[in-house]
Amino acid sequence: MKLYLLSGFLGSGKTTAIQQACLQLMKKGTRVGVITNDQGAQLVDSAFIKSFQIPGREVVNGCFCCNYTQLETGIQSLKKENNPDVIFAESVGSCTDIIATVVKPLQQFYPELEIVLSVFADAVILLKMSEGIPFCFDDDVNYIYEKQLEEADILVTNKTDLLDDKQSQLLRGRVNKMFPHEKILFQNSLREEDIQKWLNVLENVDGAINRNSLEINYNKYGAGEAKLAWLDGELVIAAKRNNAADVAVILINNLYHKIQRHQYPIGHLKFLIQAKDWQRKISFTSSLEPGVRQTHSLIKLPQVNLLINARVQVSPGILEHICQEAIRETMKNNDVAILNKGLTAFQPGYPKPVHRIAQRAPSENIEN
Ligand SMILES: Nc1nc2c(ncn2[C@@H]2O[C@H](COP(=O)(O)OP(=O)(O)OP(=O)(O)O)[C@@H](O)[C@H]2O)c(=O)[nH]1
Ligand SMILES: [Mg+2]
C-alpha cells in the first residue's frame, strides 16, 4: 500500500491537491483513503473531503507526530473499510520534522508501506522569500516554514497560476538552486494535468529510500507553533428570508476584515458553508489578497451550517473575541438567528512526538 504524506505551510494547497488527486484516481477505479489532521476537533478539511464521498479518517487535537497512535489507527481502519491502494495523509500546516517522527517510525513498524513525502509551498510566498522579502510572520514561524522545505522527497511549488511568466521563470531558476537535492514540481493544483503529473512522480519515487532526519531546534519550533492561535467552531445560521448562505459570507468577510484591520498575520482562515446537497469552501491565506468575497447572491437557503477553522498569529483570547464580535454584528445587522454550537480557541502546545528516530542516512546516500 502506498502512503502519500503531505506537509507544507498553512494554506499552501495540500487539501486541494488531495481532493483533486482522489477524484482522478477514483474515476480510474483506484481505491483511495485520506487522513486529515489539525490542531482542533472540528476540521474543515475532514468535512470537505467527506463531502466528495472519499473514504476519510481524521487525527484531531494535534499533529501526527504527537498523535502517532491515532495515525496508525486511521491507517488500519481505512484498510478495513476499503483496503485502499493509496492513502493520502495531510499533516498540520505548522508541523515539521515529519521524517524523524512519522516516516521513519512507520517504515520501522510497517515495512510494507511505501511512503513518499510531498512538501507543498505557495509559489507566491516562495518567490517573495527567494527575493529576501520576509514572510509576514514571527521568526519562529518562519523557521517552521524553512524546516518543512528541507525534508521534501518532492517539493511541490504550488499555485503557479498566480505568477506571471516572468515571475515563473525567476522562481524556477531560484528554487532549483535553493533545493538542488530535491525533486521539484511546479504545479497548479486546480489543473487536472498537473495533478496527474504529481501522481506520476509519486508513483515512481522509491518509498523505501533512507532519508535524513532533520536537525531541528525544538524550542524554536515549539515557539513558532504556539504563536499561531487555533480557533474552530460550528455555527448554524437560520434566515427567514432564505438568505442563510449569503449571511454566512457576510460573517466570513466581517471576521476576515476585523483580522486584517488589526494586521494579525493570517496562516489560514478556512470556512465550509454547508447545507443538504450544497457546500462552499472559502479560504484566506497568507499569500492571497482576495478582497471582499461574493458580492452576488449565493443559493437561496433557509439554514446553513458554518464550520470555521482559523490559524492566526495572535492570542487565542483575542481571536475568539473577534469571532464572537463578528457573530454578534452579523446577527444584529441581518435579522438572522445564529446558533453557536461550540467555539474553541487555544494556543497549540509544545510538540512532543511519540517517536523520534534521529539517525541520518549514511553519507553515500546524502550525496545522491
Ligand atoms: N490559484 C490557486 N489556488 C489554489 C491552488 N491550490 C490551492 N489553492 C487555494 O488555496 C487555498 C488553500 O488551499 P488548501 O488546500 O485548503 O490549503 P492547505 O495546505 O490544505 O491548508 P491547511 O490545511 O490550512 O494547511 C484554497 O482557497 C484553495 O482553493 C492552486 O494551485 N492555485
Ligand atoms: Mg488542508
Confidence of residue 339 (pLDDT cuts 50, 70, 90): very high
Instruction: Look at strands 2-8 and 114-122 and give their pairing.
Output: parallel
pLDDT of residue 61: 95
Place of cell 489539525: 38
Q: Judge whether residue 368 has pLDDT over 60.
A: no
Rounded CA gap, 225 and 203, in Å?
32
Which atom of ligand 1 is the closest one to the Cα of 94? 25
Stronger pLDDT, 291 or 31, i.e. the higher one: 31
Q: Is the CB of 62 under 6 A from ligand 1?
A: no
pLDDT of residue 349: 94
Confidence of residue 365 (pLDDT cuts 50, 70, 90): very low
Cell of 275: 447545507
Question: Is the domain 2-223+351-367 a CATH 3.40.50.300 member?
Answer: yes
Mean pLDDT check: name the lowest of 17-26, 88-97, 172-181, 186-195.
Answer: 172-181
Confidence of residue 181 (pLDDT cuts 50, 70, 90): confident
Other C-beta atoms lying within 10 Å of the C-beta of residue 289: 9
- Take atom 2 of ligand 1 and give the residue whose Cα is closest: 159
Instruction: Look at strands 114-122 and 154-158 and give their pairing.
Output: parallel
Q: Is the CB of 12 under 6 A from ligand 1?
A: yes
Residues with CB under 5 A from ligand 2 (ion): 14-15, 45
What's the mean pLDDT in 273-300? 79
Q: Is the CB of 13 under 6 A from ligand 1?
A: yes
pLDDT of residue 361: 61
Q: Is the CB of 285 under 6 A from ligand 1?
A: yes
Question: Looking at the CA of 157, which ligand is closest?
Answer: 1
- Which tens digit of pLDDT belongs to each residue from 25-53? 999 999 999 999 999 999 999 999 999 99
| Cα torsion 229, 303, 291, 188: sign | positive
Q: Are 247 and 222 in contact (CB under 8 A)?
A: no
Q: Are 205 and 316 in contact (CB under 8 A)?
A: no
Q: Judge whether residue 367 has pLDDT over 80.
A: no
pLDDT of residue 60: 96
pLDDT of residue 354: 97
Question: Is the domain 228-346 a CATH 3.30.70.360 member?
Answer: yes
pLDDT of residue 173: 95
Over the chain, what HEC string results?
A: CEEEEEEECCCCCHHHHHHHHHHHHHHCCCCEEEEEECCCCCCHHHHHHHCCCCCEEEECCCCCCCCHHHHHHHHHHHHHHHCCCEEEEECCCCCCCHHHHHHHHHHHHCCCCEEEEEEEEEHHHHHHHHCCCCCCCCHHHHHHHHHHHHCCCEEEEECHHHCCHHHHHHHHHHHHHHCCCCEEEEECCCCHHHHHHHHHHHHHCCCCCCCCCCCCCHHHHHHHHHHEEEEEEEEEEEECCCEHHHHHHHHHHHHHHHHHHCCCCEEEEEEEEEECCEEEEEEEECCCCCCCCCCCCCCCECEEEEEEEEEEECCHHHHHHHHHHHHHHHHHHHCEEEEEEEEEEECCCCCCCCCCCCCCCCHHHHHC
- Take atom 1 of ligand 1 and give the residue whose Cα is closest: 159
Q: Are 118 and 153 in contact (CB under 8 A)?
A: yes
Confidence of residue 362 (pLDDT cuts 50, 70, 90): low
Q: Judge whether residue 366 has pLDDT over 80.
A: no
pLDDT of residue 293: 59
Listed by start position, the domains of the chain span: 2-223+351-367, 228-346
Instruction: Look at strands 86-90 and 32-37 and give their pairing.
Output: parallel
pLDDT of residue 180: 87
In the chain, % of residues over pLDDT 90: 89
What's the mean pLDDT in 61-68? 96
